[in-house]
């Protein structure tokens, strides 16, 4: 199978590396920055070619470009020369719905996905949707080495993007704040980084792997009159929970706007 990747930024190249771990194939790579394309080629093999070459010969094509570029790009690729009817197109653009892309390629050959950056380490959370159930196993096989992969109805994709797609950035901000607090209180950067990152990793695994609600897990480490409750009260006082919910809702609103532009 010839698998093409158009757009090799942070996300596009991470998806390409994840796919290369799961699938042997002929990889076709294209990016406006040729150095990035060649660096990825050195890692996973394949050929560095033009966008049009990928459109004409690819069996499955990942489109890793920004939302404002995706529709003009797809229009240009499909109008210049005929493309294969059986080609599967996979969009990574936030907010852009399948019916908008179906103006240019068959709807039953489209997949909309939203990965997140931890897939670089095989710990990603990728959500996706499509109208053709025959594409589900194909896509999940390709992404098998990326982390968790979850099919959703398209109406849920913007909300999922606001949590899983944007969420790592919010988590990094929290980790950064924990590190700063550690440094303020005498820890080295290295020690504080280890403590903060491993704590969030472990807490995430607890939530994922156990049936306990997060509130139950929180209560398990919150002793009466102890230090944890003092910190928790401070978070509530400073509207931590509200800030997180508002961040997700703001990201969701922006996703919806991107789909309308």
Residue 116 DSSP label: -
101 CB burial (10 A radius; 0-12, 13-18, 19+):
buried
- 9 is an annotated ligand-binding site residue: yes
Q: Which pLDDT value is given to residue 50?
A: 94
- 190 is an annotated ligand-binding site residue: no
CATH T-level assignment (fold) for domain 162-259: ProC C-terminal domain-like fold (1.10.3730)
Q: Which pLDDT value is given to residue 82?
A: 75
pTM of this structure:
0.92
Q: Which pLDDT value is given to residue 260?
A: 78
- 10 is an annotated ligand-binding site residue: yes
Q: Which pLDDT value is given to residue 25?
A: 75
Domain with CATH 1.10.3730.10 in the chain: 162-259
Q: Which pLDDT value is given to residue 201?
A: 97
- 1 is an annotated ligand-binding site residue: no
Q: Which pLDDT value is given to residue 133?
A: 96
Cα separation, 19 vs 23, in Å, equals 6
- 235 is an annotated ligand-binding site residue: no
Which regions of the chain are under pLDDT 50?
none
Q: Which pLDDT value is given to residue 81?
A: 73
User: What CATH architecture is 2-152?
Assistant: 3-Layer(aba) Sandwich (3.40)
Domain with CATH 3.40.50.720 in the chain: 2-152
Per-residue burial over 147-162, b if 16 or more Cβ lie within 10 Å, else e, is: bebeeeeeeebbbbbb
- 6 is an annotated ligand-binding site residue: yes
- 255 is an annotated ligand-binding site residue: no
């Amino acid at each position: 199978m010839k698998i093409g990747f158009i757009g090799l930024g942070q996300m596009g190249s991470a998806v390409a590396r994840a796919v290369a771990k799961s699938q042997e194939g002929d990889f076709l790579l294209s990016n406006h920055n040729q150095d990035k394309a060649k660096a990825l080629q050195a890692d996973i093999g394949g050929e560095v070619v033009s966008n049009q070459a990928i459109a004409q010969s690819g069996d499955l094509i990942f489109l890793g470009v920004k939302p404002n570029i995706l529709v003009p790009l797809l229009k240009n690729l499909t109008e210049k020369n005929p493309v294969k009817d059986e080609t599967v197109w996979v969009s990574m653009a936030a907010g852009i719905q399948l019916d908008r892309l179906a103006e240019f390629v068959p709807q039953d050959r489209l997949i909309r996905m939203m990965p997140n950056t931890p897939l670089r380490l095989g710990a990603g959370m990728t959500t996706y949707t499509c109208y053709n159930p025959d594409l589900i196993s194909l896509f999940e096989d390709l992404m098998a080495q990326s982390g968790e992969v979850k099919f959703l109805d398209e109406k849920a994709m913007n909300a999922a993007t606001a949590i899983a797609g944007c969420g790592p950035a919010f988590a990094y901000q929290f980790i950064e704040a924990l590190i700063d607090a550690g440094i303020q209180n005498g820890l080295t950067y290295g020690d504080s980084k280890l403590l903060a990152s491993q704590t969030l990793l472990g807490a995430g695994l607890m939530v994922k792997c156990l049936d306990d609600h997060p509130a139950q897990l929180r209560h398990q480490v919150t002793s009466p009159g102890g230090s944890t409750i003092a910190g928790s009260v401070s978070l509530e006082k400073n509207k931590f929970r509200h800030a997180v919910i508002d961040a997700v809702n703001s990201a969701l609103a922006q996703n919806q706007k991107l789909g309308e532009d």
